[in-house]
Amino acid sequence: MRSTFTPGAERAIAVAAGWISSDESDELGLPEVLMGLLAEPECRAALVLARHQIDAQSVRRRFPSLREIDAPPVDDRHHSRAWHQCLQTVEDLLIEYPRPLELATEHLLLALVAAESDVSRWLAEQGLAADVLEAEVHRLAGFQPGPLPLEPLEVELDEPRRPSILSINPNRTEDDQPLASEELSAIRIIDAAANRAGEGLRVIEDYLRFHLDDRHLTRLAKAIRHELTAALSVFGNKVRHAARETQTDVGASVTLPSEAQRSNLSAVLAASFKRVEQSLRSLEEFSKTVSPDTAAALEQLRYRVYTLERVTDITQTSLERLADAQLYVLIDGGRSESQIRGLVKSLVAAGVGIIQLRDKHLPDRELLARARVVREATADTHTLFIMNDRPDLALLSGADGVHVGQDELSVKDARRILGTRGLVGVSTHSLEQAHAAVLDGADYLGVGPTFPSGTKQFSEFAGVELLRAVAEEVRLPAFAIGGITAANLSEVLAAGLTRIAVSGAISSEEDPAAAARELAELLRR
């Protein structure tokens, strides 16, 4: 197996080791894995199972031989042949994902659903279809196997994929008289709002694709647009078209001068987001009169559009704010305040775009004092000052932001302390983590580790392949980190990232400023 597991997936497997479903074998079987996933109630797999009313009790009713045992170490429970086959199946489904593949709980659930077994057949009976779950897994990861094609003009099928509005009301048939006037008005409103929302989403998607050149955000916009079409198929095109009255629509001729003017592409984007959000709200409210389930789905789409708007704006703002920040240098607290002051001033003069203060040993009071020195030395310069891990000290010292890892405070919590103007950077070690950081609202990414480093130890290295995957997928500013030097910088640049974060390549040199100047010049060239 080339894959590894996320911490959540590892916890689920550890819990699974505390169950046994066969007296004839001590191997870790599929029902056990299902119980392990349910034991992580906030994980994505458990949330999917909950939507299908699958809980621990229903699993035990279906597999009555399940019983708890004293949980041995996970390594002591050999994986059954069936579970190995499940893992191989999900690896095949995710064949185009970057390696090394990191399996999360939703991937483990997909493994159970996609591989032929008693568990998969039972899950299918509960409504968990492998193709639907696979599509959802891709959507969550912001990944779609294969190239992103130029789409042909989309033509909706006349046959709705869900029941038409005529079948929602059991008392109405195709042969009945036309819709009542109030319901006709609701359908007209739904049709108009649906058209506005679809048009706005297409404009947003085109902007993300052709101007921002962000593959990840483009996929998110495309997914919302397609899911909107699916949600609205309940009304049926024939019903919507029959209710449409374009020629007599009193609003068709009501326009404002501002609607004919857009100062730039960003103004087009902002107007389109508002058009979509307002249209979705109108769709949601009027759908409640004819299809409450559809209204609930539309509400969720509206919240996803809010998120897409937020992260698109953050991406654009970060690209502008960090436009000149290619070289990011991490330093410790130094021997004294005067020593760190001299170092920081020399790095600023050498063209360093960002300086991060990272020191795990100094007491808080000394660390804050050093942070204030760095802030003073970078004030009114082109160099930004970032505090490592400590948004509280970042706020007290007046730093430009904070950088957090996967095990530190979340972006949300860091921003609660720093406010909206503080930068929040996030360390990422996989493409999935990079996608998640974007949606969490990070202002920039640290991506790695790329090469072995003398300043920080890692058991595994994501390598240049991760840099290439992030460069292809994400436009949010991303800094390659981990063992980068002037000697291997060309490999980083060839992978597509043009920003680097370094520590040992500067601190280990006799003349740190000269080393920084060399790297800055190489990046500029």
Per-residue pLDDT tens for 445-474? 999 999 987 666 555 667 899 999 999 999
Total domains, the chain = 3
- Residue 301: inside a domain: yes
User: Of 282, 299, 318, at which residue does a domain stop?
Assistant: 318
Tell me if the pTM is above 0.75.
Answer: no
249 and 348 fall within a common domain:
no
268 and 341 fall within a common domain:
no
310 and 336 fall within a common domain:
no
409 and 501 fall within a common domain:
yes
21 and 88 fall within a common domain:
yes
290 and 334 fall within a common domain:
no
| Pure H helices in 425-462 | 431-440
User: What pLDDT score was predicted for residue 258?
Assistant: 60
Mean pLDDT of the chain: 86
310 and 330 fall within a common domain:
no
54 and 171 fall within a common domain:
no
| Both structure tokens of 489 | 């910088």
Residue span of the structural domain in which 137 resides: 4-141
- Read off the CATH number of the domain in which 51 is found: 1.10.1780.10
Residue 304 and residue 330 in contact, taking contact as beta carbons nearer than 8 Å: no
194 and 75 fall within a common domain:
no
User: What pLDDT score was predicted for residue 260?
Assistant: 60
User: What pLDDT score was predicted for residue 173?
Assistant: 47
103 and 182 fall within a common domain:
no
β-bridge mates for residue 328, sequence order: 354, 501
pLDDT below 50 — which residues of the chain?
1, 146-179
Helix (H) / strand (E) element for 201: namely: helix 181-206
336 and 238 fall within a common domain:
no
pLDDT tens, residue by residue, 390-430 = 999 999 999 999 999 999 999 999 999 999 899 999 999 99
The span from the CA of 386 to the CA of 328, in Å, is 10
From 270, 196, 180, 278, select the one nearest 232 (Cα to Cα): 196
Please, what sign has the CA dihedral across residues 418, 421, 427, 432?
positive
DSSP states of 37-88: HHTSTTSHHHHHHHHTT--HHHHHHHSTT-EE-PPPPGGGSPBPHHHHHHHH
In terms of C-beta distances under 8 Å and separation of at least 24 residues, what long-range contacts does 65-72 make, across chains too? 65/21, 65/22, 65/23, 66/19, 66/20, 66/21, 66/31, 66/32, 66/35, 67/19, 67/20, 68/18, 68/19, 69/18, 69/19, 69/20, 70/18, 71/14, 71/15, 71/17, 71/18, 72/17
**Could you tell me where the beta strands, DSSP code E, fall in 226-361?**
327-331, 354-357
| DSSP 3-state of 188 | helix
